[in-house]
Amino acid sequence: MIVKLVFWISAGTTFYVYAGYPLLLELMQLLFRRPMRKEAITPSVSLLIAAYNEAGVIATKISNALALDYPSHQLEIVLASDGSTDETVAIVRSLISMGGRGPTVRLLEFSENRGKLAVLNDCIPQLGGEIVVFSDATSMLASNSLRHLVANFADPEVGAVSGVYTVVNHCQASLGSQEDFYWRYETFLKAQEAKIGGLTGAHGSLYAMRKSLYPFPPAGAINDDFVIPTSVLRLGFRIAYETKAISYEEAAEMEGFGRRVRIMAGNVEQLRQAKSLLWPLRPLPLFCFLSHKGGRVLVPSALLALFLGNLLLWHSPFYRWFFWAQIGFYVLAFVGAFRGLRPKLLRLPFYFCWINAAWFVWLYRVVFCRGGEASYQARTHAAWH
């Protein structure tokens, strides 16, 4: 009976996190949907780009920022270098010296590499915009992104707004199509959460907040795209999700199992920071956070328990067939690791296993590789990814 209970709890957890929760969000729209007011407003905006050794992309990023469709007299572009040791600063200086018409471009140079949040905290008081827009150096923005993003601030209840993260050039990366599918799924979840006022966090590639609400979090914290926007919930504001404010990133930039381990480490760190949703209690954001981010942390261990429990229940015909279905799934995942299956849908089992395997690697590093060292690596990498 205990083994059956473990089996069904594990199966239920996995189903709920990836299928049941999205369906529940659709139903919750009927009870909790809170429309937001949008207007074509143009408040003063500071586009803040924190960078560390981004010489390969920084010129393209600034050119992209200068081409944004927003009144130039209401926009300043600020590049903050966190102790870059490559040509990042020199490239920015050369672009500034060229001058030209358009928004103001400023360079804030910090000689010591201290981490992203330390840089953001030092930059905020020096910005002139009423709205601060945060964006990664590797993410390019659609020309109308700022207009769509700030339109949400016409609603006085909105304290922060997340843009959308989009993968481009799928075919140039081995898992590009799968990454694109994953982020489309994430976009759907976040859009539904925002409609009921339950969204927490934002996409680090593009998000904005009212400068007056910036929380100045501890410099050692990670997950700035969670800590900073989520802080507005404690003040009674909400986070909007703007699907028309689009940031693009090359699929090749998103490759690597190490990146998935860092994302998993970030999810675990966010669970530690969830106490901010408890007081004052924010029921919907807390529910959405635990179902979304909390659930992703539980699924890897649930998959292991499901497999082992199923093995112990082999004697029953139903469980035997379920076990063979699991074997078929993992065989398909194994084959997908070494071959480009067609149709590409057949490679989703590998991608699913790949992202969940990151939890076990993270756990191994914490337990066996000196927890302090693992924590340091997670903080260092998460700060710039």
Categorize the per-residue pLDDT at 179 as very low, low, confident or very high, splitting at 50, 70 and 90: confident
Alpha helices in the chain (DSSP H): 2-15, 21-32, 58-66, 88-98, 116-123, 145-151, 176-195, 224-234, 257-273, 283-289, 295-312, 317-338, 348-368, 371-382
| Spans of all domains in the chain | 1-31+257-385, 45-255
Q: What is the pLDDT of residue 377?
A: 42
* Interval 345-365 mean pLDDT: 90
242-270 pLDDT tens trace: 999 999 987 666 667 887 888 888 888 88
* Interval 212-216 mean pLDDT: 97
Beta-bridge partners for 49:
79
Q: What is the pLDDT of residue 378?
A: 43
Q: What is the pLDDT of residue 385?
A: 41
| Contact in structure between 347 and 335 (CB atoms under 8 Å) | no
For residue 172, pLDDT beyond 80: no
Q: Which of 165, 205, 228 is nearest to 47 (CA)?
A: 205
What's the mean per-residue pLDDT of the chain?
Answer: 89
- How far apart, in whole angstroms, are the C-alpha atoms of residue 120 and residue 67? 24
For residue 27, pLDDT beyond 70: yes
For residue 185, pLDDT beyond 80: yes
Categorize the per-residue pLDDT at 183 as very low, low, confident or very high, splitting at 50, 70 and 90: confident
| Contact in structure between 251 and 169 (CB atoms under 8 Å) | yes
> What kind and span of H or E run contains 242?
strand 238-250
Q: What is the pLDDT of residue 100?
A: 66
* Interval 19-42 mean pLDDT: 94
* Collapsed DSSP state (helix, strand, coil) of residue 267: helix
For residue 237, pLDDT beyond 60: yes
- 231-234 CB contacts, 8 Å cutoff, 24+ apart: 231/276, 232/159, 232/160, 233/159, 233/200, 233/276, 233/277, 233/282, 233/285, 234/276, 234/280, 234/282
From 139-148, 290-299, 350-359, 373-382, the region with the lowest mean pLDDT = 373-382
Q: What is the pLDDT of residue 328?
A: 96
Q: What is the pLDDT of residue 381?
A: 40
295-317 pLDDT tens trace: 999 999 999 999 999 999 999 99
- CATH class for the domain made up of 45-255: alpha beta
- How far apart, in whole angstroms, are the C-alpha atoms of residue 224 and residue 108? 19
Work out whether the CA dihedral 363, 365, 370, 376 comes out positive or negative.
negative
